């Protein structure tokens, strides 16, 4: 499925709205297994994305993802800024000659894996990105697929990131990066439908 600039712009705008709206929830999730600031960090990134779009409307998919990437890299603290930034920057490079949504999401997922030296089952945002990339290759995305990917992180024991310091105690909690990633893909469904 191809994604048009107009839809991609709505997608990112909805995503940043969700980040701002759910700042407290993301902080709460991060307090349980991290340092409690994922919501604050992502909210700062959301505002930076909005500011960047207000200054200059992206003219194509590549510019849209690049603008999002740089806003995230510059304003989101912790690991999330570089991880989201890498995903969107890699998507930006690919979008110069590829507007296939499933390919772009897979490229974003691969960027996160590379940057975070992580893979599925490590209780990180990749546990949402990779299943969603796989689902998009099969057909339309559903809210249930996003929920299932997110919920899968609850019983995992973290082996990457700050949550890994808790070892077995990290089980029983949703991964905050996976939750913010779920907002990204829930926003996508709102724009393109299931």
* Separation CA 172–CA 41 (nearest Å): 23
Is residue 106 within 8 Å of residue 133, measured between CB atoms? Answer: yes
* Separation CA 148–CA 97 (nearest Å): 32
The candidate with the shortest Cα–Cα distance to 58, out of 19, 95, 110, is 95
The predicted structure's pLDDT at residue 22: 98
Note down the domain range covering 79: 5-192
pTM exceeds 0.85 = yes
* Separation CA 37–CA 11 (nearest Å): 24
Torsion over CA: 149, 144, 129, 131 (sign): positive
For tokens 């979008």, the residue is 95
Domain count of the fold of the chain: 1
Instruction: Give the CATH number for residue 148.
Output: 1.25.40.340
The predicted structure's pLDDT at residue 53: 97
Q: pLDDT tens-digit profile of 52-96? A: 999 999 999 999 999 999 999 999 988 999 999 999 999 999 999
Q: pLDDT tens-digit profile of 127-185? A: 999 999 999 999 999 999 999 999 999 999 999 888 888 889 889 999 999 999 999 99
Is residue 34 within 8 Å of residue 162, measured between CB atoms? Answer: yes
């Amino acid at each position: 499925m191809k994604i048009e600039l107009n839809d991609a712009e709505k997608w990112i705008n909805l995503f940043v709205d969700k980040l701002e709206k759910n700042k407290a929830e993301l902080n709460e999730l991060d307090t349980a297994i991290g340092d409690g600031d994922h919501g604050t960090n992502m909210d700062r990134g959301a505002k930076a994305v909005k500011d960047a779009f207000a200054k200059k409307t992206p003219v194509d998919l590549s510019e849209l993802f690049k603008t999002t990437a740089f806003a995230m890299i510059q304003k989101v603290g912790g690991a999330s800024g570089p991880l989201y930034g890498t995903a969107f920057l890699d998507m930006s490079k690919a979008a110069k000659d590829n507007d296939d949504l499933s390919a772009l999401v897979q490229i974003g997922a691969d960027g996160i894996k590379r940057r975070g030296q992580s893979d599925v089952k490590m209780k990180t945002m990749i546990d949402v990105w990779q299943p969603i990339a796989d689902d998009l290759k099969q057909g339309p995305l559903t809210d249930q697929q996003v929920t299932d990917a997110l919920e899968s992180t609850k019983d995992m024991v973290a082996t990457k990131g700050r949550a890994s310091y808790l070892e077995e105690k990290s089980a029983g909690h949703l991964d905050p990066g996976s939750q913010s990633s779920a907002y990204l893909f829930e926003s996508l469904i709102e724009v393109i439908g299931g």
